[in-house]
Amino acid sequence: MTLVSAFDPIDIEDIKVIKKIHRLTGKKVFLSLLKDGIASYKYRYEMLQQVKEDLPYIEIASKDEKLLIYDEKKNAYIKDGREFYKRKINKEEIRRGKNMHIPSKVFTFICTNKIYFADILSSYLTNSRYEHSCRVAITAFNIAKNYRFDKYLALQAGLFHDSGRNLKTDKQISILKKMNIDTSLFPQYSYHQFSSAYLARHNFGIEDKKVLNAIKYHCTGYKKMSLLEMCIYVSDKCEPGRKFPTEEVYNTAKIDLEKALIMTLKEQVEVYKKLNIDPCSNPYTKAMYQKYIPDYFKGGQDD
Ligand SMILES: [Fe+2]
Ligand SMILES: [Fe+2]
């Protein structure tokens, strides 16, 4: 028998198969772990335990079993030559962060234990920035559950949105040059939105433009933002670790993302006023304000 998957880590395709087997047999579904996964046996065992909480019919088989997934009669369901399950998700892509179709509990486990992609991301960031990134990912995921776009893309964009944040300025500038971004048009604090998109593309293998753009506009915004872009922009500001009250924006975002974006922008305007900063000194933010809070340019704000 040839194993085709190693629960390393468990992903949403695995979950679908487990659910399907349970539906067909009405019985417990046994999973066994390969001995030679990328992460330690202990980590992989604990990752399955996270999923077990939501799927009580899962049993974890002994270490020595050769099958990967089977029912109580020991009928194996994942093996070569059987049409039951054609895998689309590549485990290597999941471990790398290129694909994030994993249950949120597994995501949290990976981030907490800094394994796979979390190991790499955490090495790029200060601890507080890394923790902020994990919170933004979960916040974006929870908001996205209420919309029709892919919530796993929100999880991914949220996690990597600040990946370039702790790079030195000269490194940021050299990345922006590679991306053909005119650095003179943008304030220095926004450079990391571009470098983060660059790292997401080149170091984590993410190719999805929707995700890359959500990262690329999370700081300055953009003239017309997609729901995913708004979701990341707002989640960055309303994640629960912020030192100001965020619940109203978060609750609004779950119902009306554009309204939450406008609330966020209006709050920002007040902060910028106090700091005597013109947020519209760059073309992206100016265009965003023109679209979403046009009264800003008439000397007041719309209500
Ligand atoms: Fe940022
Ligand atoms: Fe951030």
Render each residue's pLDDT in the chain as its tens digit; 303 residues. Answer: 333 455 788 899 888 888 887 887 777 777 777 666 788 888 988 988 899 889 988 887 765 554 455 555 555 554 433 445 566 788 889 999 999 999 999 999 999 999 999 999 999 999 999 999 999 999 999 999 999 999 999 999 999 999 999 999 999 999 999 999 999 999 999 999 999 999 999 999 999 999 999 999 999 999 999 999 999 999 999 999 998 888 999 999 999 999 999 999 999 999 999 989 899 999 999 999 999 999 888 765 544
What is the 126 CA–ligand 1 centroid distance (Å)? Answer: 13
Stated as kind and residue range, the H or E segment containing 60 is: strand 58-60
Residue 150: left (phi > 0), alpha (psi -120 to 50), or beta?
A: beta
Ramachandran bin of 206, using left for φ above 0, alpha for ψ from -120 to 50, beta for the remaining angles:
beta
pLDDT at residue 42, rounded to an integer: 87
Under DSSP, is residue 289 helix (H, G, I), strand (E, B) or coil? helix
Which ligand is in closest contact with the Cα of 189? Answer: 1
Q: Tokens 């924006």 map to which residue?
A: 249
The pLDDT score that the predictor gives to residue 6 is 57
| 20/119 Cα distance (integer angstroms) | 32
Domains of the chain: 125-298 (1.10.3210.10)
What is the reported pLDDT for 64? 54
Other residues' Cβ atoms within 10 Å of the Cβ of residue 217: 25
CA of residue 225 to ligand 2 center, whole Å: 17
What is the reported pLDDT for 71?
A: 53
Distance 104 CA to ligand 1 centre (A): 22
pTM for this structure? 0.91
The pLDDT score that the predictor gives to residue 245 is 80
Instruction: Output the CA 133–ligand 1 centroid distance in Å.
Output: 9
Burial (CB count <10 Å: 0-12, 13-18, 19+), residue 40: exposed
Q: Using the mean position of ligand 1's atoms as its centre, give its distance from the Cα of residue 95 in Å.
A: 24
State the ligand closest to the CA atom of 136. 2
Cα of 172 vs centre of ligand 1, distance in Å, is 13
What ligand is nearest to the CA atom of residue 241?
Answer: 2
Ligand 1 centre from 285 Cα, in Å? 14
- Ligand nearest, relative to CA of residue 190: 1
What is the rounded distance in angstroms from the CA atom of residue 105 to the CA atom of residue 48? Answer: 10
Residues 263 and 255: their CA atoms lie apart, in Å, by 13
Q: Please give the distance, rounded to the nearest whole angstrom, from the Cα atom of residue 122 to the centre of ligand 2.
A: 14
Q: What is the pLDDT of residue 296?
A: 86
Measured from the alpha carbon of residue 164, the closest ligand is 1
What is the structure's pLDDT at 62?
62
Contact 157, 196 (CB under 8 A): no
